[in-house]
Amino acid sequence: MSLVFRRGISSMASLKKASKVVCIGRNYADHITELNSARPKQPFFFLKPPSTILLPGAGPVICPKGIDLHYEVELALIIGKQVKDLEAEDTEGAFDAIESYAMSIDMTARNAQNESKKKGLPWSIAKGFDTFLPVSNIIPKSAIPDPHNVELYLTVNNEHRQADSTDLMLFQIPRMLSDISKVMTLEKGDIVITGTPKGVGPVVPGDIMRAGIKVDGKEIEEGKIEVE
């Protein structure tokens, strides 16, 4: 047990060395509806700085003053090699590029994001505060035979908030990696978070978020997040 734990920690630390964290927006129809957003004709994405990454056990999410803090549970892909100009049809290439998975919570300063949207300003501040990306331990690739058929969930103080299958994604992983890699080359160690299902909402200091992933109804231990 102790060995596994140490291995986990050491791989996790490497996550913070990601050269970028790319985040897919609006990738689940019911989440688009709940935020009154427009449905994208193609995947769009934004960046979170690696300084947002909060490793397991590294303390609480810090809520900045005056911020309406929202959770968004998301499946994260950890990229295993350089990817450039991948074709959307290249499903094998896309899956080859994935080294492993993790669960993540894309914490969002919702009021700041709404203001940015209104003013046509970047989202980087709303998405980019320190601790705004709690992650789980690394999930071995073999534990997720089909990333488009797993259940993501998130609870706040043990109340169910998000629970949906990744089969609801509007754009699947090969299309995401294709669109991203035609703009910015993905490097080994980069992280791609794949969008959140419906049920996002606010948390306040003291709330306990738990998130995770189920494959065939079975929880994956490495995918559990518990964070204040």
What's the CA gap between 181 and 82, in Å, rounded? 9
For residue 20, give every residue at least 6 positions away whose Cβ sits within 8 Å of its Cβ, in sequence order, or none. Answer: 47, 50, 184, 186, 187, 190, 191
Among 45, 60, 90, 201, binds its own copies (CB under 8 A): 45
What x/- string results for residues 129 through 168 when contact with its own copies is judged by CB under 8 A? xx--------------------------------------
Using CB atoms within 10 A of its CB, is residue 92 exposed (0-12), middle (13-18) or buried (19+)? exposed
Minimum distance from CB of 129 to its own copies (Å)? 5
- Applying CB under 5 A, what is the total number of residues that bind Mg ion? 7
39 near its own copies (CB under 8 A): no
Residue whose structure tokens are 């994604």: 169
Q: Which of 16, 46, 67, 207 binds Mg ion (CB under 5 A)?
A: 46
Q: How far apart are CA 34 and CA 49, in angstroms?
A: 26
71 binds Mg ion (CB under 5 A): no
Any alpha helices (H) in 16-133, and if so which ranges? Answer: 29-34, 91-97, 110-119, 124-128
- In b/e form, how buried is each residue of 197-211, taking b as 16+ CB within 10 angstroms? bbbbeebeeebebbb
- Residues in 58-117 at the binding interface with its own copies, rule: CB under 8 A: 64, 84, 116-117
Among 19, 91, 111, 165, binds its own copies (CB under 8 A): 19
Q: Using CB under 8 A, count the residues that bind its own copies.
A: 33
Q: Residue 17 Cβ, how far from its own copies at the closest point, in Å?
A: 8
Residues of span 123-162 touching Mg ion by CB under 5 A: 123-124
Place of tokens 């929202």: 70
Residues that bind its own copies (CB under 8 A): 17, 19-20, 22, 25, 38, 44-47, 49-52, 64, 84, 116-125, 128-130, 183-185, 187
Residues that bind Mg ion (CB under 5 A): 46, 72, 106, 122-124, 196
